[in-house]
Chain A
Amino acid sequence: MNALGRVPAVFAFEWRRALTFPRLAWLVALAALPPVLLGVVRSAAGSDPPLEIAAILVYVLAPCLACMMSVFLGAAPAISAELEGRSWVYLAVRPHGPLAVLLGKYLVAVSWALPVGLIGAIGGSLVLMREVSWRLITVQCGLVVLSCVAYAAAFLLIGVIAPKRAMVLGVMYAIFFEVGASLVPAAINLLTIQYRLRCLLVRGMEIDVSRLERNPILRSYLGEEPAIWHVSLLLLMAVGFVTVAGLLLRYREFAAAPETEG
């Protein structure tokens, strides 16, 4: 049995362990955030907003905020939690143990974040638009899936690179890179997950960007590549991040430092 054969065991075990009241409460709050906030917006506006505006509002709250925070909580501490709890050693001395744990925890993070994002996206769309837009719902759900898959991989990698600072670096990555750098009209913005998701939102919702063609700065925010290009890149990024995390884990030593020596 290789590492993949062991992943279901890790997934089932970690999924059960994650089923705690505080975690559930936190995820329910995250899932409720988009519908609640968009409900407030809708009641203040008094009528359905234009579809483009609705798409941007739901996108910011569900695939971006709710998904990013959900996977952050699950993926960033995946390895650091084991190291801090000193349980890593039990996993490290199993055949393919570290990789199985990495993949299993990645899937757990994605599987916990998906319902949060989907509830947020669907709920938010329905609350904001009395006239149901299936396109809005479908596109947002697709973005939720891609967001969870990609962000979970990114946070997982951060957690492996710097397990002792996983949460801090995760927050910094989210704020400075995914939010900050993705708004910089330069090549760096192409490296962000946010850029790909934003481009997919525009393509999926068929938002008319023809008027932006004369504005290179705005054009750099939304790209010109086809949707399949962005989807492929997002999936490649996710696979790449997880692969690098797996390789780091394979060759990195996490055993006790000499001061804890017995």
Chain B
Amino acid sequence: MLIELDRVTRLYGIVIGVNDICLSLPTGAHGLLGPNGAGKTTLLNLITGQLKPTIGSIRVLGSRPGNDPELLRRIGYLPGNEGMYADVSAIEWVTYLTRIQGYSAREADRLARQALERVKLTEHMHRKISTYSRGMRQRARLAQAIAHEPEFLILDEPFNGLDPIARHAMTTMLRQWIAEDRSLLVSSHVLHEIESLTHSFLLISGGRLLASGSTEEMGSLLTAVPAEIRLRLDDPRGLAAELIRERLAESVRVVSEDELLLTTASSLELGQHLVQEAAAGRYQIREMRAADDSLQEVFSSLMKIHRGQA
């Protein structure tokens, strides 16, 4: 197992950072999603051993994080905030951190160069970090996380502040990392960034784990949630009445003479019913647009459930 959390709670005084999280993640790539202030960084700090859980236990790669040198050798971490030394070059910084990782000066230099080449920073690696753009600094930060070739890379908001080109470059690098069969846990509050990397997600909000699994698994959680469906057909009023009568719709709204907007908590049954009606020729359905089934919708719906809005 990559990560095992057993009823983990972390309190900061009376403030709850992470609340009663139980989780088992296999090796592989996973996305940690949640809005700002959701508890993502606290969770990553717990996983990297910088914080200890107030209640519960954590195992990462089979070991308890926190002062475990063996585990720290196997982990690479890109923190959410920059915290780089402005007065040194990327090669000096990455070599230094790799040396603290336990490598000799020569080996650390080789690994640092290799990592900087991997993030495409070789050309600028002798320049002071203070002269770097945001994207270059982010690449240097990624280099320090991967230089010692960890098994498990943990990234906290790696796309923050990057322009589209830098985002694309970061995505490409991380895809390459995943393709090498290495594990990755990447946090973000922007879904499509994660969606382009992995289909295994953890959704966290208010310190609680709302859901985990693949996009489909998360989608299946939403079957009981009223979904919005837009239909274009010849007789919206007739269908609206029928759906209410059959209790297949929670609400209906005739938008125009050929358009119906409805919400339903029985998407599957509604779908089957509409197919039958269309096949029988009772309605000419020209267009049926279900609510967006992308991860964004899953995310929004789960957040609504969490907030008690759905």
Contacts and interface: CB of A to CB of B under 8 A. Distances in A.
A91 B93 CA distance: 11
B50 A89 contact: yes
Contacts of B100: 6, 9-10, 91, 94, 96-97, 100-101
Interface residues of A, number: 33
Given A89-B50, A94-B97, A262 B41 contact: yes
A208 interface: no
B290 to A, nearest CB: 33
Contact of B50 (A86, A87, A92): A92
Contacts of A250: 67
A254 B42 CA distance: 12
A257 interface: yes
Contacts of A95: 69-70, 72-73, 101-102
Interface string A245-262: 000001001111110111
Given A90-B97, A95-B101, A258 B17 contact: yes
Size category, B interface: 35 or more
B36 A262 contact: yes
A92 to B, nearest CB: 6
Contacts of A85: 83, 85
A86 B82 CA distance: 7
Contacts of A256: 41, 45, 81
A262 B87 contact: no
Given A9-B99, A90-B144, A261 B72 contact: no
Interface string A85-123: 111111111111100110000000000000000000000
A101 B97 CA distance: 11
Contact of A1 (B17, B39, B41, B102): B102
B12 A258 contact: yes
A253 B97 contact: no
A63 B108 CA distance: 39
A5 interface: yes
